Amino acid sequence: MERKIRAYPGVGIAGHLIQHSALCVPSLYVSRPCLIYVTHGYNVLRTHGGELRIRQGEMLALNGGQTLDVYNGLDEKGLYAGKAIACDPSLVADFGRQHTPLLSPVTSAAIIPDPANQFTQAFDAFFDALMGMPSLPAPIARHRMQEQVLWLAQHGVRLHTAPPVTLSQQVRELLLTDISHAWPAATVAERLEMNEVMLRRRLAAEAEVLRNIIADTRMTHALHLLQNTDAAIAVIAQSVGYESGSRFAERFRKRFGFLPTAIRGHQRQIACPDCGLRNG
């Protein structure tokens, strides 16, 4: 089983998430609407709408633009795995206006406990096609992504991405355009069309600090790469702006409570006091 990630501009990002340790991630920011098919183990999620448990064989539809707590639990063979497709927000919005305008968007997340066989078959075929070579032609990839969104609608689910409301969300979205960039305050302020003083004041009003947002955004991106690729940890560290592997590991542990190696299976069970989600 191989970790892999592929991106299709204007369509979405597909990732094969694999973990060999039961891990809890608190306050994880999700920027895009996602569809996740749990193939091994289970998930426990806490959103502002409550707590959800997603079992093996079930699907999770998740809105973009929200923060949640996530616990990935292992199956009896000590494995968690899921196939995830993050949809381009503009595709979801356009499709919703054209095809499902009367279907109310889900609040934050929805479980599809018994997806139709045709749905799982279509999802698996699309996921494999996204991962394969040569790449799908862009119009075909977009059409097949719309098929997944339409299948969700058949199950009463309509996804959406809330536009960034807070300045901190706007900063996160900006950072994701070039995660390894240094992003000095002057550059961030200029890109958001304000001066540095206003940037810092408005972030302070949200109880946020720019350097913390930058660090958190980088660590969250690193987490996704650790879960969805087999790239060396040193390579991932460099991709998010850290030349020092030890500094990266320490920052990662400070943010999540475990080392990057835990995701690859160097630790079996991790206590999750900050998350509060449990195997139950």
Mean pLDDT, 10 residues at a time, the chain of 280 residues:
88 94 92 95 90 96 92 94 94 80 80 93 96 92 94 90 87 92 95 96 97 96 94 94 93 94 66 49
Q: Is 35 helix (H, G, I), strand (E, B) or coil?
A: strand
**Residue tagged 């350097």 (tokens):** 211
Distance, in Å, from the CA atom of 70 to the CA atom of 52, rounded to the nearest integer, reads 10
**Assigned fold of 4-154:** Jelly Rolls (2.60.120)
The two tokens of residue 19 are: 């973990």
167-262: in CATH 1.10.10.60: yes
> Residue 53: its pLDDT value, please?
96
Rounded (to 5) percent helix, strand, coil in the chain? 40, 25, 35
Distance, in Å, from the CA atom of 198 to the CA atom of 188, rounded to the nearest integer, reads 11
> Residue 104: its pLDDT value, please?
76
The two tokens of residue 25 are: 């991630």
Q: Is 12 helix (H, G, I), strand (E, B) or coil?
A: strand
The residues spanned by each domain of the chain are 4-154, 167-262
Distance, in Å, from the CA atom of 162 to the CA atom of 32, rounded to the nearest integer, reads 9
Please provide the distance, in angstroms rounded to a whole number, between the alpha carbons at the two ends of the chain. Answer: 27
Contact 102, 67 (CB under 8 A): no
Instruction: Give the sheet arrangement for strand 4-8, strand by strand.
Output: 4-8, 12-19, 80-87, 34-40, 59-62, 109-112
φ, ψ of residue 133 to 5 degrees: the values are -125, 140
The two tokens of residue 136 are: 């799908």
φ, ψ of residue 68 to 5 degrees: the values are -150, 165
> Residue 276: its pLDDT value, please?
57
Long-range pairs, 269-276, Cβ under 8 A, ≥24: 269/21, 269/22, 270/21, 270/22, 270/23, 270/24, 272/23, 272/24, 272/26, 272/71, 274/24, 274/26, 275/24, 275/25, 275/26, 275/46, 275/69, 275/70, 275/71, 276/46, 276/69
What are the CA-CA distances from residue 86 to residues 14, 54, 155 (Å)? Answer: 6, 17, 18
Half-sphere exposure of 89 (CA within 13 A, CB side): 12
Same topology for domains 4-154 and 167-262, yes or no?
no
